[in-house]
Amino acid sequence: MPKRPAGVWAPRVTASLLALALVFTIAVTTPWHLIDLPEPDAALDFTSAQIARQDAFRHEILKWSTTSWILSVVVPLVIGFSPLGRRLYDALRVRPWFLAVPVTVAGIALITNLVTVPTDVLAERVSLKYGLSVQNWRLWVWDRGVNWLLTSLGVAVVAVVLIALAKRRQRGWWLPGAIIAALLVLGVSFAYPVLVEPRFNHFTSMPAGALRNDFLKLADQDGVPVKDVLVADASKRTTALNAYVSGFGSTRRLVVYDTLLKDTPPAQIRLVVAHELGHAAEDDVLHGTLIGVLGTAFGITLLYLLLGARMADPRRTGLFVALVVVATTLASPVQNLVSRKIEARADYHSLRLTNDPEDFVAMQRDLAVRNISGLDPSRWRYWIFATHPTPPERIAMGRAWAAQNGSTVPPLAKR
């Protein structure tokens, strides 16, 4: 058994307080119940052909995407929890340590990336076959490379900071480490819209016109200050429909996919925008950042209780990466549960803002058909991967709201 680090009383108490603060914040900022929903039933609104297409798509793609996910978790765990991590660090022969650590992190991420290339290629071919993806392979490789670089950079920065602190203060690095890591999360939340998003899409301001004016009027009506309305050139990658509000304060802007503007009825676009404004109106980005800050500080404190002074050894970089993977994997079900509840609140917000349940139900059906969304995922997939309610659940929300306000929305599959 490894010897526990000395002086663990303070970090234990701090970890307990951070855990309580994290649970409390999640509990009070998550909308656990909005409205009683009828039993979701895809057959009410999706034709047998639409259901069959969705089933066929998921049957073809899930075996590859699931394998990729398993490999992306297993590979860093095998490297980090075995002598392979230390051997990789030594084999790279990079000195000094503060350069060796980022190279090791990037190397582990690159190995993982390369191992998952075959299954990811097969998954992308399925998306191309069904018309969901339209990007060329050069762009696919570019996106993959940028994602690898950004992920490696983020993990490497945290690793270097923590190792440097542990070398300097072997028994007290957890406190400055937790503070610095939490501040990094806060900084990324502000910087992401202006530094990261442009790496994947090109954004242009929506030209002046009735649609832009309607979006800004809707935002004003909702009490949500929006700096700009941008159009993302998502059509170079996908046919999926989407919009979102990113940033907060001076960086907040409404972003609309160009695919959404192409063939979607104006009433449905308005509902999508109202949903995204709901996130801003409820300060979901701010609450998510707070949860991220608390979760990160808790994670760093817990890391000290697990490793203590051993964090000062840069040859344990692989172990650090493995522990990050364990933490993010275990946190995913909770994060997704909270995300589904928040997305449901944004749906509810859009219904209250537009008072248009009939177009809401039609919009959710059309989005699901275009995006080939899963209508009835298995329970374990739902808990581990689903960040949004299923389309039948969202449609049930529209019908429940309509019934609560004295109207009905007939089944769409029978029209």
pLDDT, residue 74, reads 98
pLDDT category at 145 given cuts 50, 70, 90 is: very high
Q: What is the mean pLDDT of the chain?
A: 91
Task: Give the least confident one: 11-25, 116-130, 202-216, 298-312.
Answer: 202-216
What whole-number distance in Å separates Cα of residue 241 and Cα of residue 261?
Answer: 9
| Sequence ranges of the domains in the chain | 9-202+273-404, 203-272
- State the pTM of this model: 0.90
Task: Give the least confident one: 128-132, 158-162, 193-197.
Answer: 193-197
Kindly give the pairing relationship between strand 203-205 and strand 253-257.
unpaired
Residue the block writes with tokens 């002598």: 83
Tens digit of pLDDT for each residue in 321-362? Answer: 999 999 999 999 999 999 999 999 999 999 999 999 999 999
- pLDDT more than 70, % of the chain: 96
Tens digit of pLDDT for each residue in 265-300? Answer: 989 999 999 999 999 889 898 899 999 999 999 999
Q: Provide mean pLDDT across the span 223-237.
A: 86
Give ∠ CA 265-271-273 in degrees, rounded to 5: 105
pLDDT, residue 243, reads 83
Q: What SS3 class is residue 257?
A: strand
pLDDT category at 1 given cuts 50, 70, 90 is: very low
Task: Give the least confident one: 193-197, 233-237, 260-264.
Answer: 193-197
What whole-number distance in Å separates Cα of residue 76 and Cα of residue 87?
Answer: 14
Longest dimension (CA), the chain: 71
Q: What is the Cβ-side half-sphere exposure of residue 355, based on CA atoms within 13 angstroms?
A: 2
pLDDT, residue 222, reads 87
Residue the block writes with tokens 């979006």: 215
E-strand ranges in 155-258 read: 203-205, 229-232, 243-246, 253-257
Question: Token pair for residue 112?
Answer: 């993982």
pLDDT, residue 192, reads 74
Task: Give the least confident one: 43-47, 191-195, 288-292.
Answer: 191-195
pLDDT, residue 114, reads 97
Please tell me which residue, 6 or 266, carries the higher pLDDT value: 266
Please tell me which residue, 21 or 260, carries the higher pLDDT value: 21
What whole-number distance in Å separates Cα of residue 196 and Cα of residue 249?
Answer: 17
**Selection from 388, 389, 267, 367 nearest residue 50 by Cα:** 367
CB 238, CB 128: distance < 8 Å: no
- CA 264 distance to own-chain centroid: 25
> Is 3's pLDDT higher than 70?
no
**Selection from 70, 166, 165 nearest residue 116 by Cα:** 70
Tens digit of pLDDT for each residue in 383-414? Answer: 999 999 999 999 999 999 999 999 999 998 76
CB 271, CB 359: distance < 8 Å: yes
pLDDT, residue 191, reads 75
CB 405, CB 356: distance < 8 Å: no
Residue the block writes with tokens 């060796």: 100
- CA 253 distance to own-chain centroid: 18
**Selection from 321, 102, 289, 280 nearest residue 185 by Cα:** 289
Q: Provide mean pLDDT across the span 90-118.
A: 95
> Is 5's pLDDT higher than 60?
no
Tens digit of pLDDT for each residue in 51-100? Answer: 999 999 999 999 999 999 999 999 999 999 999 999 999 999 888 999 99
The top-level CATH class assigned to 203-272 is: alpha beta
